[in-house]
Structure 1
Amino acid sequence: MAAESPYFFLSYARGHFDTGSHPHKWIVKFFRDLCADIAELTGSPTPGYMDKQRLEIGTRWPFELTDALATCKVLLPIFSPQYFTSDYCGKEWEIFSRRITRHPWGDDPPKVIIPVHWTPMEIEDLPEMVRHVQHRQADLPQHYQREGLYGIMRLGKYREAYKETVLHLARAIVKAAGVELTPLDESERVPPHQIPSAFTDVKAFKGGLDDR
């Protein structure tokens, strides 16, 4: 029996979270909390996928990462300044965007990219190619809108706002998953070095690349 595809693929700039004695501490907590809420809402044994490896330039992607990106229902990018200079994040965005362009949609493309703001970012801070994505949701807690996810996780006084934010995102992911985006065929799951980064222009403007 084929494994159930994950509800969401967490796309984040791994190198940005690889500092301190507990690498990924906050992003892992968010991932686990989000998975727990989605599992409660759906009963799914595979609510999400997160790769915890730091991939250097030229490193081969794990097969499970490629499969998760090729079959997941929703892309959940963690927006931060580092995200848009990450070569691999740009490749993840590009691969998922190709799936969207192939989907038989009507007047509007399916809203299957749900950004999360790690730190507060205004629309003018975002690269032009991602501004079309709905990155603000009015019914999210105001504390999240003002502080970003990292802010409400770090400050204990926002604990309830954090829980509310995670549950809201879980519900949004489950709703978006109803689109049933077509997976990539096995033959289309090419090595990432053959995929251009969607953020090439951003990296060129900023004067360099980050490995991850």
Structure 2
Amino acid sequence: MMAAERPQSAGERTVIDKEPDVDRPAPLFFVSYAHTRSSHLIGTFFEDLSGHVQELIGRIPGDDPGFLDRSMAGGRRWAPELLRAVATCQVFIPLLSASLFESAWCGYEWYAFSRRQVLNRRSGRPDMETAIVPVIWVPHGTKSEPAVVGQIQRFSPSGLPEEVVKKYQLEGIYGLSFVDTNAYRAVVWKLAQRVVGLHLSHYVERAPIPDETQLRNAFTEESG
């Protein structure tokens, strides 16, 4: 297993200064979503987010700034590239919706990423930060949320007018793309800033490529 640089001794402070350089071909971020009839809109969102991240990071830390599984066939879900991406990406972005919570595949992806340790780049040690950034795709209400989802603060765009933030919370990214394209663009831009900021401050250790037979559905776990 390839790991981040660690302190050499208990009293020595080590800065993880792998220039936020995800080893090739690791993607910087991974978008987890439920395959539905509107999946083509997720592709548009992904391209918008990828473009912003590429501009902010200055160079591509890998072959592509992000990973999106574009396969629609269930039998191809665990292609080697998907397993590798979830074991090596630095930020995990689940697009929250009722459909996501019903997807066992998405639960497996969440489980696989959440097993990886998050290190503070400055101290080289674990802290309380998470590299999971839940984004509202479609408003769903908290009653349908699995326990593990409620344990993590969802993304909220900072620095935007209050009315834009409220629209995002009420409509989700999916709805904003129809009712207010300017708000959609602003929220996606802020999400890109959050992804890059998190990547610059924290490092998620690589994990062995997971064996799909050992994965569990995080959405059906009692405590996540």
TM-score calculated relative to the size of structure 1: 0.80
Instruction: Give the equivalent residue in structure 1 for 2:175.
Output: 151
Distance 1:102 1:172 in 2: 17
C-alpha distance in 1 between matches for 2:188 and 2:169: 13
- Name the structure 2 match of 1:206: none
2:56 match: 41
Is this contact kept in 2: 1:55–1:61, CA < 8 A?
no
Do the aligned residues in 2 keep the contact of 1:31 with 1:50 (CA within 8 Å)? yes
- Post-superposition shift, 1:26? 0.7
How many residues end up aligned between the 2 structures?
Answer: 187
Residue 190 to residue 112, structure 1, CA distance change in 2 (3 Å)? closer
Whether the 8 Å contact between 2:108 and 2:216 is mirrored in structure 1 is yes
Deviations 1:90-109 (A, max 9, x none): 11000101003798423x2x
1:182-201 to structure 2, matched below 5 A, reads: 182-184=205-207, 188-201=208-221
Which residue matches 1:6?
27
Unaligned runs of 5+ in 1: 203-212
Q: C-alpha root-mean-square deviation of aligned residues, in Å?
A: 2.2
TM-score, length of structure 2 as denominator length: 0.76
Contact 2:31 2:67 in 1 (8 A): yes
Preserved CA contact (<8 Å) 2:138 2:173: yes
Question: What secondary structure is seen at the aligned counterpart in 2 of 1:180?
Answer: strand
1:119 counterpart residue number: 138
CA distance in 1, matches of 2:216, 2:59: 32
More helix by percentage: 1
Asked if 1 retains the 8 angstrom alpha-carbon contact of 2:157 and 2:191, the reply is no
Contact 1:38/1:44 (8 A) holds in 2: no
SS at match of 2:31: strand
Paired residue for 1:181? 204
Summarize the Cα distance change of 1:196–1:171 in structure 2 as closer, same or farther, 3 Å threshold.
same
CA contact (8 A) 2:119 2:203 kept: no
The share of aligned pairs that are identical, in percent, is 34
SS in 1 for 2:116: helix
Unpaired segments of 5 or more residues in structure 2?
Answer: 1-22
